[in-house]
Amino acid sequence: MRQQIVAGNWKMNKGLEDGLELVKGILEKTEKPKGLIVIAPPFPLLREVGKMIKVRKYFHLGAQNCHHEEKGAFTGEVSTDMLQSVGTEYVIIGHSERREYFKEKPAMLAAKVNLTLSRGMRPIFCCGEPLHIREVDTHVGYVAKQLKSSLFHLKEEDFRKVVIAYEPIWAIGTGRTASAQQAQEMHHAIRVFIAKKYGKSVANDTTILYGGSCNAQNAAELFSQPDVDGGLIGGASLKADDFAVIIGALKG
């Protein structure tokens, strides 16, 4: 049975004091969620946020990225060993902002996935289409290619550890949101594509999150869809009240 997850991606927001205050608020407003909660703060906050949330078994520490090499002369980068050493359990890989602004390519993302898994952490692998792909109705094939090129080299036992996050790029930070029906259709298509590679059992057990401007107002409708298993939350994860409402929308 697949897990229900809400993951908060803070992106490049919050200093230490503000970040810890946000975590405190989230913990106070979340008693017994129906799934797992992942908090992914900026790198400098990982250890302190991890200390705060480890007292709650439903909460897990996530990182927003990792480097694709184990170590070396890569000034300013963070390795999977570093992340693992401070208690990181999940790593977001292939976010649309990383693909667009930092030109991350499929082979690099596959290397990140491999390293994350080798260190005992779970990848949250992001996929999704830009507006022009959606408009010409080639979005299913576009997303399938992203999965195939960066994930389908994995053996079944490793693929089972991967969380998929579908993020329609046209709905991230734009105020636009895919309708619940659009989200369900795409999540179902992803599950069908996984089944063709790994079989129905693996596909049915794969957690697929929605990651396109999910908020306190639309989370319940999105999460009610049969193939939507929670959300990768951006801006709404920066407000404890809103994030708590989204967590409360998990269907369990």
Say if CB 184 and CB 228 are below 8 A apart: yes
Q: What's the CA gap between 191 and 58, in Å, rounded?
A: 25
Active site residue 167: yes
Task: Give the largest Cα separation in the chain, rounded.
Answer: 48
Which of the following is catalytic: 95, 97, 129, 187? 95
* Helix ranges (DSSP H) in the chain: 16-29, 46-53, 80-85, 96-101, 106-118, 131-135, 139-150, 156-159, 180-198, 200-205, 219-223, 240-248
Closest alpha carbon to 38 in 5, 64, 83: 5
* 95 in active site: yes
Q: Which residues pair with 36 in a beta bridge?
A: 5
Phi then psi for residue 60, to 5 deg, are -135, 150
- Residues 6+ away with beta carbon under 8 Å from 178: 168, 171, 186, 210, 212
**Catalytic residue numbers, as ranges:** 95, 167
